[in-house]
Amino acid sequence: MKVLVVGGGGREHTLVWKISQSPLVKKLFCAPGNAGIAKQAKCLDIEASDIDKLVKFAEKEKIDLTVVGPEAPLVDGIVDRLAERGLKVFGPNSDAALLEGSKGFAKKLMARFNIPTGTFQIFSDADEAIEFIRDMGAPIVVKADGLASGKGVTVAFDEETAMAAVKKCICQGAFGRAGHRVVLEEYLEGEEVSVLAFTDGKNVLPMPASQDHKAIYDGDKGPNTGGMGAYSPAPVLSDDFLKQIEKTILKPTIDGLRKEDCEYRGVLYCGLMMTESGPKVLEYNVRFGDPETQVVIPRLKSDIVPILLACADGELGKTKAEWTDEAAVCVVLASKGYPGNYEKGKPIEGLDKASKIPGALIFHAGTATKNKKIVTNGGRVIGATALAEDIPAAIKRAYECVEAIHFENKYCRTDIGKKALARLGNKR
């Protein structure tokens, strides 16, 4: 088989790492890839957003399976374009990708099919949204309707912050077209957890739960990022709860879309809040999470390629997945200044040393090669990931990797996994 992975971050490095282990795969490409991916796949000088070039390459090279990492090309219709040419692809078509492409679309779908979520209203007029905030009060959540790279959500604990977020979206155009509409949403209390599932549009195959750390600073302080670390399993979610989520959220979402002539194939990501009244959906993503992928996929013992093919072919009901009991922890090493402005081109040292730590998996996110040296090339640079017998041991190993890797202006959170330790009764 020839496989093409679209994207160039930590999520895609994890997928390339796992796909490369399959005996079914003879050639593996990644567009555009990064310095770490280049060791396991042939990197192409094609951006993930350049659908024309990607389709042309897949057709010319006779790619047997394309695996799409980022959300933007999915929303922009890369699956539809490949399918038109008879090419197999793992990911939802543009209609189904609206689950992430429009938060308003997702909330309306949940309302129609009684999928548990917070109450909400959608606005395209700033004055009407501000009046609603005055009526509802705070805390309240303000979300840009469209894609904003994980940065379009404001959890406002006072009305002034909420109003400013509305103005930033609608009046100031901070997120472009993505912020022309806003969703104002009930603030849900509890602990967040991520549940991903493979699906072929009819069947769902849940993956082990994980927990992301979106805020830039320790203690979940500061602005949201694309994710500063993750761990799996998530002690907040029991096996019984996972079955409940499959029954009340995952399956109804897929069934609801199919009832509306919108078959969803690929991976469905549910960001959930574990409230006192049970799990409720905060958001959907239509692709593997980042950095959740870095802690979930390393726990998959099965060959991932037959699972991806089964999703694309509509035959997931015949497929099973085996998972390791080991825990995984990922600490993201970022460039100082992220998620705002940051410098690139800083040489990275210690990658080989870190990779020799037992259980270590070093996934590249924002890296490039310059003068034969690996350098920083993004806000999130490296996912220092480790597998171990339990979460405390995995945390220890992941931070050993962090200590081994060096680059100028390196930054990371120091409390990844702390919530898990609290639930397990351990102290770090």
Residue range 114-127: average pLDDT? Answer: 97
Q: CA torsion, points 41, 212, 68, 38, in degrees to nearest 10?
A: -10
Q: Are residues 166 and 261 in the same domain?
A: no
Residue that the structure tokens 């057709």 belong to: 59
Whether residue 426 is predicted with pLDDT greater than 70 in this model: the reply is no
Task: Identify whether 306 is preceded by a cis peptide bond (ω within 30 of 0).
Answer: no
What are φ and ψ of residue 195, in 5° steps?
Answer: -125, 120
Position 340 in a domain: yes
Task: Give the Å distances, CA to CA, from 228 to 167, 182, 311, 344, 388.
Answer: 27, 25, 29, 18, 20
Examine the domain organization and report whether 365 and 249 are in the same domain.
no
Residue with tokens 């013992």: 301
Number of domain units in the chain: 4
For residue 104, pLDDT over 80 is answered with: yes
Q: What is the pLDDT of residue 199?
A: 98
Query: Is residue 277 domain-shared with residue 363, that is, in the same domain?
Result: no
pLDDT confidence tier of residue 419, bands split at 50, 70 and 90: very high
- Is 92 a residue whose pLDDT tops 70? yes
| 234 and 312 belong to one structural domain | yes
Which position has the token pair 């967040």?
192
In a domain, 277, yes or no: yes
Statement: residue 74 has pLDDT above 50: yes
Residues 301 and 208 placed together within one structural domain of the fold: yes
DSSP state of 391: H
Distance, in Å, from the CA atom of 92 to the CA atom of 71, rounded to the nearest integer, reads 10
Last residue of a domain, one of 265, 294, 318: 318
Domain boundary residue, one of 318, 343, 360: 318
The CATH number given to whatever domain includes residue 47 is: 3.40.50.20
pLDDT above 70 covers a percentage of the chain that reads 99
Q: Would you state the pLDDT for residue 208?
A: 97
Q: pLDDT of 50-59, one tens digit each? A: 999 999 999 9
Looking up tokens 């890797």 gives: 405
- Nearest CA to 420 out of 394, 385, 387, 398 is that of 394
Rg (CA), the chain: 21
- What pLDDT sits at residue 428? 46
Domain boundary among the residues 318, 344, 363 is at: 318
3-state SS track over 93-145: CCCCCHHHHCHHHHHHHHHHCCCCECCEEEECCHHHHHHHHHHHCCCEEEEEC
Residue 377 covered by a domain: yes
- Examine the domain organization and report whether 195 and 313 are in the same domain: yes
Q: Which residue has the tokens 């400013």?
A: 164
Rounded to 5°, angle at Cα 320 from 319 and 325: 160
Residue 308 lies in a domain: yes
Examine residue 267 and state whether it is found in any structural domain, yes or no: yes
- 180 with 200, same domain? no
Give residue 274's Cα distance to chain centre.
19
Confidence at residue 131, expressed as pLDDT on a 0 to 100 scale: 97
107 occurs within a structural domain: no
Dist CA 295 CA 387 (whole Å): 8
257: pLDDT strictly greater than 50: yes
pLDDT tens per residue across span 286-340: 999 999 999 999 999 999 999 999 999 999 998 999 999 999 999 999 999 999 9
Residues 180 and 210 grouped into a single domain: no
CA distances for 166 relative to 156, 178, 245, angstroms? 11, 12, 32
- Full residue range of the structural domain in which residue 15 is found: 2-90
> Does the pLDDT of residue 149 top 80, yes or no?
no
The confidence band for 358, taking pLDDT boundaries of 50, 70 and 90, is very high
At 186, the amino acid letter reads: E
Does 334 share its domain with 404? yes
With left for phi above 0 and alpha for psi between -120 and 50, is residue 299 left, alpha or beta?
alpha
CA pseudo-torsion sign 156, 413, 207, 189: negative
263 in Cβ contact with 316 (< 8 Å) = no
* Beta-bridge mates of residue 383: 332, 363
Nearest alpha carbon to residue 391 among 272, 271, 234: 234
Q: Domain check: are 252 and 195 in the same one?
A: yes
Assess whether 137 and 214 both reside in one domain: no
Burial of 244 from C-beta contacts in 10 A (0-12 / 13-18 / 19+): middle
Judge whether residue 63 has pLDDT over 50.
Answer: yes
- Which conformational region is residue 33 in: left (phi greater than 0), alpha (psi within -120 to 50 degrees), or beta? left
Please state the rounded mean pLDDT for residues 149-167: 92
pLDDT digits (tens, 9 = 90+) for 203-251: 999 999 999 999 999 999 998 888 999 999 999 998 888 999 999 999 9
The secondary structure element, H or E, covering residue 83 is helix 78-84
- Here the CATH number for the domain that contains residue 271 is 3.30.470.20
Average the pLDDT over 91-111 and give the result. 97
- Residue 384 contacts residue 362 (beta carbons within 8 Å): yes
CATH of the domain at 350: 3.90.600.10
> Quick check: 303 and 21 in contact, CB under 8 A?
yes
Answer yes or no: do 250 and 340 share one domain.
no
Residue 272 lies in a domain: yes
- Cβ neighbours for 239, distance < 8 A, ≥ 6 positions apart: none
In a domain, 108, yes or no: no
* 112-117 long-range contacts, CB within 8 A, separation 24+: 112/256, 113/252, 113/253, 113/255, 113/256, 114/252, 115/248, 115/249, 115/252, 115/253, 115/256, 115/281, 116/248, 116/249, 116/278, 116/279, 116/280, 116/281, 117/280, 117/281, 117/282
Task: Name the residue among 418, 398, 384, 413 with its Cα closest to residue 236.
Answer: 418
